[in-house]
Structure 1
Amino acid sequence: MIALTIAQIAHAVAGEVHLARADTLETAVSGAVDTDSRLIEAGGIFVAKPGADTDGHRFVDAAVANGAAVAIVEHVVETAPEAAVTQIVVPSAVAALADLARAVVTRVKAAEELRVVAITGSNGKTTTKNLLARILEGEGETVAPKASFNNEVGAPLTMLRVTEDTRFLVSELGASAPGEIARLAGLIDPDVAVVLMVGMAHAGGFGGIEATFQAKSELVRALRARGVAILNADDARVAAMAPLAAEREASVRWFGRGPAATDVRADDVVVTASGTSFVVTADGVSLALRLKVLGEHHVMNALAAVAAATALGVSLADAVARLETVEIAERWRMQPLGSDRIRIINDAYNASPDSMAAALRTLAQITGPGERTVAVLGAMSELGEYAEEEHDRIGLLAVRLGIQRIVVIGPDARRMFLEAVAQGSWDNEAVFFATADEAFVYLQSELRDGDRVLVKSSNSAGLRFLGDRLGESFS
């Protein structure tokens, strides 16, 4: 974080200061900010956030032991004498985290040449963020989220890593309810807004696909005046956000694979087990690109990254060269494991109907003659009233794609198994297990040379750990 005095921090978060030791209001603090006491380092700021399972106020002593210089708390914490620390008391630690992030980004944007990109969409946010960060790192210091730090806590923590030397801030903005993207985007006044797609992810929380559209469009509404909107020309709902960009006097860059993608487009797409090759055209210049990240659906994420990067002045040649160095999108996202004998694709960090369908299509595309497709599937979360219908659709799709073994795990995913059986996956082509441990025992004896195995579920189903176990077992 940039250096701020205790007085400046307190002003930013509207907090009441309780000084400790030799601190004064003019004492400068420049360490990293975190809500996890275990990650605090010397000079850092610990935000004591109450949580569902525990309360950060219990760990102020531990944060101080790790070097915390300031604690932002919701009430004064009595510490051991050796753990005395300046405390700033606020009504809400989470709100204070956001307020501090806004203050830091605003200061850096005012004083330095910092460009801010915000990315949202029902699927592809983390991959696009990583691809864009790889491109921009070649231009100057770039701050981007770790893993999927995209909520009311993770997004501000990323923003607070900005320093005077940071040239680019890439923010990934997720949401499970209306208004969340608007609040997060409002902290950073984005120069570039990227909207990838509007799909069924989190539809249960939003209340349907149209409400999801409204929520995702909050990012375009939050774009700074005369900024740039990067919009998916192939998604009718995303394309319908163009008038919102016009209200901000923002320019629009269209990306996609269809004729409406007038700025950045992909042609001649070829999908293999080692990646995807295509020709990318940006502003009339065409270059071949070989993306090592598995899955045809990641072509759109790469196009979005190219569209944003070129809007920021990066040449297409540099963007392509840097994208070709990316090995995987992120751990547990289309991550190749196992061996050439039995290939495991662990894509079980997140799942929605769109990403589940894309992963299954990829499995079918990359499996060659003499090889067998095996789909290990768990539940898709946050679908609300749409859960049964969407799980049925995935079971049907797996059968229609000719997936030869369908392994469904967990009671919340059982509808996929029942639908697969109803559609003709008989004679143990589709099997169901209540737990991942039971499925692991089955798969250890069932998998054979030439199998290509997809492990896919929402994070809450926990199948990413099953994917890791299978990868290690068959390495």
Structure 2
Amino acid sequence: MTLWTAAEAAEATGGCATTDWVVNGVSIDTRTIQPGDMFVALKDVRDGHDFVAQALEKGAGAALVSRIPEGVPDDAPLLIVDDVQTGLEALGQAGRARTGARVVGVTGSVGKTSTKEMLATILETQGKTHASVASYNNHWGVPLTLARMPRDTEFAVIEIGMNHPGEIAPLARQARPHVALVTTVAAVHLEAFESVAGIAEEKAAIFEGLEPGGAAIVNADIQHAEILRQAAQDHGAGIVDFGRQAVDFGLIDVSQGGDSVRASATVRDVTITYEVQSAGTHFAMNALGALAACVEMDVDLDDAIAALRQWSPVKGRGVREVMPLATGGQIELLDDSYNANPTSMEAALDVLAAAQGTRRIAFLGDMKELGAQETAMHASMADVAAMAQIDQVHCIGPLMKALHEALPEGKRGLWSKTSAEMVGHLPDLIQAGDTVLAKGSLSMALAQIVDGLRKMGQGSALDP
């Protein structure tokens, strides 16, 4: 199906098409580009113009550029604009404007990607659904997602993230959601914010993009919920809350059993039960927010609960695997290696503490962007309640040295500067029957620990 014609893209961006081309996708990466995609020559670590010739050789249908790159003929299928980033944003806004889709936007300090995936899983049962890929939630990820949206989309789920003040509002205005969900507000990105209240104000900026008559889904349990409520009210949004202290979607109870959690809640005086196919009580809270958003998207609640059972976490975000060891026996791996902050770290440790393994082993990497209190925040992980149930903690990174030193001697495992250094010790640290957690910020490469554990045997995904 044609996504953009040269004429449509030129009109959307104000650019000039060199030939009459059509494309059926949009890509920013020559490593994953598909034949017929438009290649967007963004400037990041390197200038995307350097890869246009390669993209065209791989079958790109066109390239969005600000100049004709070296080695590319004048008659190549190009869309020439003044600025590639601005051109991508314009294309995304046009993609959003031409569709009649109902759109939900998701942000939050923790849980926005898993909640986005829950929403997509539910909405896919209701109609043609388009959602952000992976964590494409920044200044290029949001417009790229919108530019990729097929014109016959019925539902769209757009993840919106930030690292600094002032990022969310412009992205929300591009997405123009009918429903906006804030999963939670926590001590993340404190290098760029003076306080958690400042983070709450930035997250609340998602409501600036709401369509008239839109709904704001607010976590009632967070410390700064009132900041979110006030921002939603200021923008004329209908407010729906969720959580243990909520009026609308009130969480009553969560029980964890093996590889799933079961929860009960009151939804406007009616008691419901729902199930999430992943260990971790935090997933029950994310799911309740997703259910609230779906009801505001006019999805029947019973249908949404049934569809939610089909969701499972994506790679690196809480996936559980049983892995036979070459030496005999097996281990269970909790792969939460994609990202980390104090809130998500504590939640992951809760999951490990509830596991049934002979020993509970954690490999924990640095949590980044925490500002002046980063050392104290790492050390404080030694005091979380779950730590009492964990047998041994191996620490990775300069910041995690603070936790290593704060741990009781009986729980203190190895410390290494990098994941690569720790991998070599794995055979001596792991034994059959262990349940193992890998958790850390993406730059700490805890995925190397996960891969090292897999190489100790023949792993297979655990079927929920």
Q: After TM superposition, is the score higher than 0.5?
A: yes
* Counterpart in the other structure of 1:49: 42
Instruction: State the Cα deviation string for residues 139-175 of structure 1 (Å, max 9, x = none).
Output: 0011111211111122222212212221011000011
After TM superposition, give the deviation of residue 323 of structure 1 in Å: 1.1
* Counterpart in the other structure of 1:459: 442
Question: Are 1:87 and 2:78 counterparts?
Answer: yes
Are residues 234 and 30 of structure 1, via their aligned partners in 2, closer, same or farther at CA, if it must alter by over 3 Å? same
Q: Determine which of 266, 290, 294 is the counterpart of 1:309.
A: 294
Question: Are 1:165 and 2:152 counterparts?
Answer: yes
- Partners of 1:224 and 1:248 within 8 A in 2: no
The SS at the match of 1:344 is: strand
Q: Distance in 2 between matches of 1:390 and 1:428?
A: 18
* Counterpart in the other structure of 1:70: 62
Number of residue pairs aligned between Structure 1 and Structure 2: 453
Q: Distance in 2 between matches of 1:347 and 1:5?
A: 41
* Counterpart in the other structure of 2:222: 235
- Partners of 1:106 and 1:188 within 8 A in 2: no
Question: Are 1:289 and 2:274 counterparts?
Answer: yes
Q: Determine which of 31, 35, 43 is the counterpart of 2:24.
A: 31
After TM superposition, give the deviation of residue 472 of structure 1 in Å: 4.4
After TM superposition, give the deviation of residue 136 of structure 1 in Å: 0.2
Map residues 49-198 of structure 1 onto 2, 5 A cutoff: 49-52=42-45, 54-81=46-73, 84-108=75-99, 112=100, 114-198=101-185
After TM superposition, give the deviation of residue 58 of structure 1 in Å: 1.2
* Counterpart in the other structure of 1:358: 347
Question: Are 1:411 and 2:395 counterparts?
Answer: no
TM-score (norm 1): 0.90
Instruction: State the Cα deviation string for residues 358-394 of structure 1 (Å, max 9, x = none).
Output: 11122112346xx222111000011122211211111
* Counterpart in the other structure of 2:423: 440
Instruction: State the Cα deviation string for residues 47-95 of structure 1 (Å, max 9, x = none).
Output: 111221x2211111121122323221122213355x9423333343222
Are residues 398 and 91 of structure 1, via their aligned partners in 2, closer, same or farther at CA, if it must alter by over 3 Å? farther
- Partners of 1:69 and 1:85 within 8 A in 2: no
After TM superposition, give the deviation of residue 5 of structure 1 in Å: 4.2
Q: Distance in 1 between matches of 2:280 and 2:454?
A: 19
Are residues 226 and 426 of structure 1, via their aligned partners in 2, closer, same or farther at CA, if it must alter by over 3 Å? same
Q: Distance in 2 between matches of 1:65 and 1:160?
A: 23
Cα RMSD between the aligned structures? 2.2
- Partners of 2:66 and 2:81 within 8 A in 1: yes
The SS at the match of 2:320 is: strand
* Counterpart in the other structure of 1:13: 13
The SS at the match of 1:49 is: coil
- Partners of 2:201 and 2:227 within 8 A in 1: no
Are residues 427 and 237 of structure 1, via their aligned partners in 2, closer, same or farther at CA, if it must alter by over 3 Å? closer
Q: Distance in 2 between matches of 1:292 and 1:273?
A: 10
Q: Distance in 2 between matches of 1:472 and 1:184?
A: 41
Q: Distance in 2 between matches of 1:428 and 1:105?
A: 52
- Partners of 1:128 and 1:302 within 8 A in 2: yes
Q: Distance in 2 between matches of 1:211 and 1:138?
A: 37
Amino acid at match of 1:229: A
Question: Are 1:218 and 2:205 counterparts?
Answer: yes
The SS at the match of 2:369 is: coil
- Partners of 2:130 and 2:155 within 8 A in 1: yes
Q: Distance in 2 between matches of 1:152 and 1:467?
A: 30
Q: Determine which of 287, 296, 303 is the counterpart of 1:318.
A: 303
Question: Are 1:429 and 2:420 counterparts?
Answer: no
Are residues 356 and 219 of structure 1, via their aligned partners in 2, closer, same or farther at CA, if it must alter by over 3 Å? same
Question: Are 1:337 and 2:324 counterparts?
Answer: no
- Partners of 1:57 and 1:73 within 8 A in 2: yes
Q: Distance in 1 between matches of 2:17 and 2:354?
A: 61
Q: Distance in 2 between matches of 1:2 and 1:209?
A: 45
After TM superposition, give the deviation of residue 304 of structure 1 in Å: 0.8
After TM superposition, give the deviation of residue 248 of structure 1 in Å: 2.4
Q: Distance in 1 between matches of 2:430 and 2:214?
A: 52
Q: Which runs of 5+ in 2 are unaligned?
A: 325-329, 460-464
Instruction: State the Cα deviation string for residues 241-294 of structure 1 (Å, max 9, x = none).
Output: 212222222211111123xx1222332311133111112433333333221112
Q: Distance in 1 between matches of 2:341 and 2:413?
A: 21
Are residues 442 and 125 of structure 1, via their aligned partners in 2, closer, same or farther at CA, if it must alter by over 3 Å? same
* Counterpart in the other structure of 2:255: 270
- Partners of 2:349 and 2:387 within 8 A in 1: no
Instruction: State the Cα deviation string for residues 415-469 of structure 1 (Å, max 9, x = none).
Output: 111121xxxx215633212232442333322322332211110101000231232
Q: Determine which of 231, 240, 265 is the counterpart of 1:244.
A: 231
- Partners of 1:275 and 1:293 within 8 A in 2: yes
Q: Distance in 2 between matches of 1:3 and 1:367?
A: 49
Q: Distance in 1 between matches of 2:176 and 2:72?
A: 41
Q: Distance in 2 between matches of 1:286 and 1:320?
A: 13
The SS at the match of 2:39 is: strand
- Partners of 2:6 and 2:22 within 8 A in 1: yes
Q: Which runs of 5+ in 1 are unaligned?
A: none
* Counterpart in the other structure of 2:462: none
Q: Distance in 2 between matches of 1:219 and 1:48?
A: 28
Are residues 92 and 205 of structure 1, via their aligned partners in 2, closer, same or farther at CA, if it must alter by over 3 Å? farther
Instruction: State the Cα deviation string for residues 22-46 of structure 1 (Å, max 9, x = none).
Output: x2xxx36342111112333343321
Are residues 471 and 335 of structure 1, via their aligned partners in 2, closer, same or farther at CA, if it must alter by over 3 Å? farther
Q: Distance in 2 between matches of 1:418 and 1:399?
A: 18
Amino acid at match of 2:321: L
Identity, in percent, stands at 34
The SS at the match of 1:75 is: coil
Are residues 65 and 232 of structure 1, via their aligned partners in 2, closer, same or farther at CA, if it must alter by over 3 Å? same
Q: Distance in 2 between matches of 1:18 and 1:107?
A: 20
Are residues 274 and 162 of structure 1, via their aligned partners in 2, closer, same or farther at CA, if it must alter by over 3 Å? same
Are residues 98 and 308 of structure 1, via their aligned partners in 2, closer, same or farther at CA, if it must alter by over 3 Å? same
Q: Distance in 2 between matches of 1:316 and 1:448?
A: 44
Q: Distance in 2 between matches of 1:381 and 1:443?
A: 24
